[in-house]
């Protein structure tokens, strides 16, 4: 080794040092690129998480609207049920009043009663069967006319103004 000049050793040392520095620089660059890739992946995951959060918020809002619609429909159904009961009660009162009127008419009728007892016109001979002898447990269809506010009709989607004056 004595025959190699000192300046050759210096050149070899400088080349080895440059190679070492190049390797270190390449490793740093590789780490920086890997870190940048991880940052980009993390950013993409954050964006995806934000989109998912927004979608979840939209679905929560839709669920809230659906619950509100269901509650509104439930309240409307209860109101309609209450109205139906009121109409049924009114029909029963009307029937009772009719029965009372017929009973009073039977008492006042000089020819007798209409209920088939002897001595009177039963009404069946005339084809006039106005007397209602059904039990109170039976269901009876009653047609009534009642007042409806225009606001109620406009808010109800079943009642659309078609321009036909016959439709209410």
pLDDT of residue 125: 46
| Percentage with pLDDT > 90 across the chain | 57
pLDDT of residue 112: 67
Q: What is the pTM of this model?
A: 0.40
pLDDT of residue 150: 56
pLDDT of residue 167: 52
pLDDT of residue 139: 53
- Comparing C-alpha atoms, which of 63, 76, 131, 137 is closest to residue 102? 131
Residues of the chain with pLDDT under 70: 1-2, 112-168
**Which residues 6+ apart lie within 8 Å of 168 measured at CB?**
148, 153, 159
């Amino acid at each position: 080794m004595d025959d190699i000049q000192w300046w050759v050793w210096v050149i070899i040392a400088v080349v080895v040092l440059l190679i070492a520095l190049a390797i270190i620089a390449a490793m740093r660059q590789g780490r920086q690129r890997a870190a940048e890739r991880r940052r980009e992946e993390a950013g993409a995951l954050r964006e995806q998480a934000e989109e998912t959060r927004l979608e979840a918020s939209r679905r929560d809002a839709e669920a809230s609207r659906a619950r509100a619609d269901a509650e509104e429909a439930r309240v409307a159904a209860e109101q309609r049920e209450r109205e139906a009961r009121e109409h049924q009660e009114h029909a029963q009162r009307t029937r009772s009043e009719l029965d009372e009127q017929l009973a009073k008419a039977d008492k006042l009728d000089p020819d007798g009663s209409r209920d088939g007892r002897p001595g009177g016109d039963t009404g069946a001979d005339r084809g006039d069967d106005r007397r209602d002898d059904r039990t109170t447990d039976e269901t009876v269809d009653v047609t009534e006319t009642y007042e409806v506010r225009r606001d109620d009709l406009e808010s109800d989607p079943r009642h659309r103004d078609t321009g036909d004056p016959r439709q209410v």
